[in-house]
Structure 1
Amino acid sequence: MERNHLKDGVGIQVDDSHSKELWETALNPPSRSVLPPAASLEQSRSSIITELSHTGQGYTQTKDHLFNDIIPGLNDSAINANYYGFVTGGVTPAALLADNVVSVYDQNVCVHLVDHSIATDVDYAALCLLKDLFGLKRDEWPHGIFTTGATASNLVGLACGREYVLRKAAQKRGASGDIASGNITDSVGEYGMPAVLEAAGLKGLQVLSTMPHSSVGKVAGILGIGRANVKSIVSNTGESHGQPLEFDFELFEKELARDGFASIVSISCGEVNTGRFATKGIDEFRRVRALCDKYNAWLHVDAAFGMFGRVLDDSPEFEIIKKGSEGIELADSITGDGHKLLNVPYDCGFFFSRHGDVAEEVFRNPNAVYLSSSSGEHIPTPLNIGVENSRRFRALPVYSTLVAYGKDGYRAMVERQIRLARLVTGWLHEHPKYTILGGGASKEDLIAATYVIVLFRAKDEALNARLASAINGTGKMFVSGTKWAGEPACRVAISNWKVQVERDFTLIKEVLDEVSR
């Protein structure tokens, strides 16, 4: 009988022959359906062990169980370039290598202790490299943190925004003071939102946005802002001229001036269904910034994947995309996602803010001396500026992939992704059985505005109702089903580093022609 590693101690030899097989699968996946066949799903699901045994079945039998039973029930979302759902990236070879190192050494990147590990140094360096990638000045963005993804980054952003705008409101009213003297101070992190709202003379807090991601509403619920207080300030006429996220500036200022409410503004830099941008260039962003300053609003940018427009050059080919991500350097905070276009493993997001003091007010651990960092160090302790106290070393794959491929590598990847999306857009625009959605006066305008997402529907209502399942049922590619203007639609989201423009365009045409017959 195989020895039990937990009972018998360390130093026991195990068969690691599977490691090479896994590496080969990741880089050169087998030719199979993007999704597991129904029979494989049923078999894998029925094989899941649901009762804990006393003795355990041992390493070898468990390895066989994983390879023979569990893996056949997993999809190929990260390893197949033709998985176009959820803006799911793959994993670059350099990131995959680093993630194996992460699992082996399993650092808890929570406290910056210079005599213990360089993990926090790598964490800090990776954040600096990301700022370089996106053209953000390092010294202007002192607060940076890795998160579990864009949702967690939006949580950090809105939590900081909540702290900032209510502090401003309380200070404006002259309510800041010493709690011991009977006056409430202006810190939500210290005394809670109800107390500070009362001190500031406010009824509540609202989030203003144009077509925000669902995670913004989720975060508003978590933070006590309320999902009902996430309000649309989108123009009613924007889609007719290809700007479905266009600001209604008259409504925007009216909401900012609303009596009894402080505001956080969340800009959608890459909307999830269309890939479109809420602003059209630096001048419009400055206009938003000026209004936020006038009314003491926090300006947050949800740039989960739109941020990568900033790696493009200034050629006319990508002018609209480049302009869509212009100006985010004027924001108070920015959300980014690593497991999308950066192509590092789940789960990885990142967040930047200009206001390190605000982050510490929100996230610091009280009265925990053992969590203090080494004195005199410029690198902050991560657990005092973000949600998690225990943190996976998710910075290492980010560091590794940026060191390996540099800005030029990522620029080339994003260019391929955009060019494929634009070929699909142009082809669908001319197709007799499909309609492109998201606005645009002409084919040329549609193509120029296309980033890495193509939103479309079938003209035939019956086909459109089952279009996503029909496409995915071919096993050759995967798309996300969604809704646009209340009607079913499909979304092709191109985000894998393995994209090959002509090869993938040929496959997409074949599949969409096949299901439309």
Structure 2
Amino acid sequence: MNREFASDFLNITVESQTLFRKHMHATVEVLIRDFAASEKPYSGAAPQDLAAAFRNRQVCPEQGVSMEELLYFIGTTVVKHAAVVNHPACVAHLHCPPLQASLMAETLLATLNQSMDSWDQSMSATMLEEEMIGWLCELFGYNKGVGDGVFTSGGTQSNFMGLLLARDHYAYTKWNWNVQQWGLPPQGDRLRILCSEAAHFTVKQSAALLGLGQHAVITIPVDSLGQMQSHVLEHTINRLLQDELLPFALVATAGTTDFGSIDPLPELAVLAHKHSIWFHIDAAYGGALALSDKHANLLEGIALADSITVDFHKMFYQPISCGAFLLRDSANYRYLQLNADYLNPQEDDQAGVPNLVGKSIQTTRRFDALKLYMSLQHLGRKRFAAMIDYTMQLARHTAEQIRQVKALELLAEPTLNAVVFRYIPTTELASTEVDALNHRIRDRLLERGIAVIARTKAKEKACLKFTLLNPLTTPQDTADILTHVVRMGMELEQQYVIEQHALRGV
């Protein structure tokens, strides 16, 4: 071993192991001091102030600095000014606090640094991922030994893979056309994707990346519950066919970003089957309901999907990023299959060597399966389910709190654990002014480090949103945030009225 660089890596030497223990201990202390012990969900620092700290320091100095100095700098400039995702008042996005078991797994998988593309870079890791995928397929009702899947970076990648395989499967079965070899078929401009108007933006993004264009996505209106209207879908399919257009994929959503709405999966599955359309379900948000005895029924029909997106960095409480793409029939992976002599030669396929690169659009890929495996092992299904059930009950309780406050408007009953609402001023204001007022409330909460909440738009109105993934958040926490929302709304409303009077010379 070249000992000149031995202390820079964890290795067989006692010196490197001693340094690793020391550095890991110091890192833990920074995380506890500057992050876990924070009394605020965000420091309130402005973007320009944060940027200044980095501009004044060389990114790559000629000589390195000590780990002690570096950790102090990172603690005070990065860790101290991060969104504190484990804080009860950090309730903006689908952004969860990670479980301790998953943090231990992150340390292990980062140190092991396995690459999940080929067996000879990820021996035991490959087998554990395969075991996890088998369990996930069974969890969502796929037949053992027929279904398959792969870990992904999250919903964006998984949705893209579902639509990629749907496109290529349609071209192959309808026209005997190999998109992988020959590119888009001549009829490609007639291909259409169907989804609800509340579907994730990555459906349109995927259509663009697949060379179909965003115009290929046909959106179906939703009902008062935010669910795709199946009767409108059927009418739309028939109209497309009459116009000689080709609907090849239907994307249902099990947990929309704003309202957590779940499309009528069994009804949509029937229509997809009737018209030989690939049925993909985006369960990035709601997939975790499969662990719950109380709420798994909300996913009825998910086993009928040709492919499924599920994220683990939401209600499975894993560090970003961690998701999976599941496929009901593993034979459909043939549309992705490529062989490289240096990585996954055909001889390996014939010998049964499990090179996972053939199931992914990624080559180098992290060993994220370890995080979910360790979390499931440590907590068990019942404790996972209890967390999910608690946050859904919390959302319903918070909705009731909002209904009790005259100055607040609840936009919809929560399906999962997202709650959308807005502040209603007592003063007569234009709709644009009310929208601006709600945006300013959210900004002021962030600037003062009181709460991190989201903003969105619903029913053509600017709204505020709680995404209550965090099992540490209590009804008292949401009540306190709502009190701040009302107080700041009243302050800003009064300030606005004074400003308007001044402009009019009153």
TM superposition score normalised by structure 2: 0.84
Who is 1:253 aligned against? 237
CA shift for structure 1 position 415? 0.7
Q: In the TM superposition, what is the alpha-carbon distance from 1:303 to its structure 2 partner?
A: 0.6
Match of 2:201 in 1: 214
User: Corresponding residue for 2:98?
Assistant: 91
**Deviation at residue 434 of structure 1 after TM alignment:** 1.1
8 Å Cα contact 2:99/2:317 also seen in 1: yes
Cα displacement (A) at 1:39: 6.1
Q: Flag the 1:140–1:22 CA change in 2: closer, same or farther, 3 A.
A: farther
Q: Structure 1's 392 and 45: CA in aligned 2 closer, same or farther, altered over 3 A?
A: farther
Shift of 1:436: 1.2
Aligned to 2:477: 504
Q: 1:412 to 1:22 in 2, by over 3 A?
A: farther
Q: What is the deviation of 1:342? A: 0.7
109 and 276 in structure 1: CA distance in 2 versus 1, 3 angstrom threshold: same
Q: Give the partner amino acid of 1:121.
A: M
Pair 1:332 & 2:339 matched: no
Deviation at 1:450, TM superposition (A): 2.9
Q: 1:192 aligns with which of 175, 179, 183?
A: 183
In structure 1, what is the Cα distance between the partners aligned to 2:276 and 2:370? 37
SS of residue paired to 2:237: helix
| Alignment partner, residue 124 of structure 1 | 130
In the alignment, which residue of structure 1 is the partner of 2:344? 371
Measure the CA separation in 2 of the matches of 1:154 and 1:147.
Answer: 10
Distance 1:471 1:216, change over 3 A: same
Unpaired runs of 5+ residues, structure 2, are 426-433, 491-506
- 2:415 aligned to which of 431, 445, 450: 450
Letter in 2 for 1:288: L
Which of 286, 290, 300 is the aligned partner of 1:310? 290
Structure-1-length-normalised TM-score: 0.82
Match of 1:443 in 2: none
Task: Indicate how the Cα distance of structure 1 residues 32 and 39 shifts in structure 2: closer, same or farther if over 3 A, else same.
Answer: farther
Q: CA deviation at 1:40?
A: 8.9
How big is the shift at 1:4? 8.6
Residues 109/506 of structure 1: CA separation in 2 closer, same or farther (3 Å cut): same
CA RMSD of aligned residues (A): 2.8
Counterpart code for 2:166: G
In structure 2, which of residues 399, 402, 409 is the aligned counterpart of residue 425 of structure 1?
A: 399
> Residue deviations 1:322-361, cap 9 Å, x none?
4432101101000011111111111111110113222232
> Which of structure 1's runs of 4+ aligned residues deviate more than 6 A?
6-10, 376-379
Q: Kindly provide the CA deviation profile for residues 12-55 of structure 1, in whole angstroms up to 9, marking residues without a partner as x.
A: 453423143256469x8213321222269715642353553333
Equivalent residues in 2 for 1:104-123, closer than 5 Å = 104-113=111-120, 117-123=123-129
Do 2:88 and 2:474's aligned partners in 1 also have CA atoms closer than 8 Å? no
Corresponding residue number in structure 2 for 1:20: 28
The alpha carbon displacement at 1:161 in A equals 0.9
Residues 411-466 of structure 1: per-residue CA shift (max 9 Å, x gap): 1001111011111111112320111114xxxxxxx3xx531100111122263242
What secondary structure is seen at the aligned counterpart in 2 of 1:370? Answer: coil
Specify the code of the residue in structure 1 equivalent to 2:272: C
Matches within 5 A, 1:217-296: 217-235=204-222, 238-239=223-224, 242-247=225-230, 248-255=232-239, 257=241, 258-279=243-264, 285-296=265-276
1:62 aligns with 2:70: yes
Cα–Cα, structure 1 residues 292 and 515, in superposed 2: closer, same or farther, change >3 Å?
Answer: same
Does structure 1 residue 348 correspond to structure 2 residue 328? no
Q: Which has the larger displacement, 137-146 or 350-359?
A: 137-146
Question: Which of the residues 301, 311, 321 maps onto 2:281?
Answer: 301
Tell me the distance in 2 between the aligned counterparts of 1:378 and 1:96: 33
1:154 corresponding residue in structure 2: 159
Whichever residue aligns with residue 221 of structure 1, its letter is A
CA contact (8 A) 1:217 1:227 kept: yes
CA distance in 1, matches of 2:452, 2:354: 42
Q: How far off is 1:104 after superposition?
A: 1.4
Shift of residue 492, structure 1, vs aligned partner: 0.8
Q: Please state how far the C-alpha of 1:493 moved relative to its aligned partner.
A: 0.6
Match among 355, 367, 377 for residue 403 of structure 1: 377
AA at the equivalent of 2:182: Y
Q: Does residue 19 of structure 2 align to residue 34 of structure 1?
A: no
Q: 1:80 aligns with which of 70, 75, 87?
A: 87
For the structure 1 residues 60 and 140, does the alpha-carbon distance in structure 2 shift closer, same or farther, using more than 3 Å as the test?
same
Q: What corresponds to 1:183 in structure 2?
A: none
Counterpart of 1:203 (choices 177, 189, 203) is 189
User: In structure 2, what residue type is equivalent to 1:150?
Assistant: G
- 3-state SS of the aligned residue for 2:144? helix
Alignment partners' CA distance in 1, 2:42 and 2:239: 45
Identity %: 20
Instruction: Give the Cα separation in 2 of the matches to 1:21 and 1:481.
Output: 34
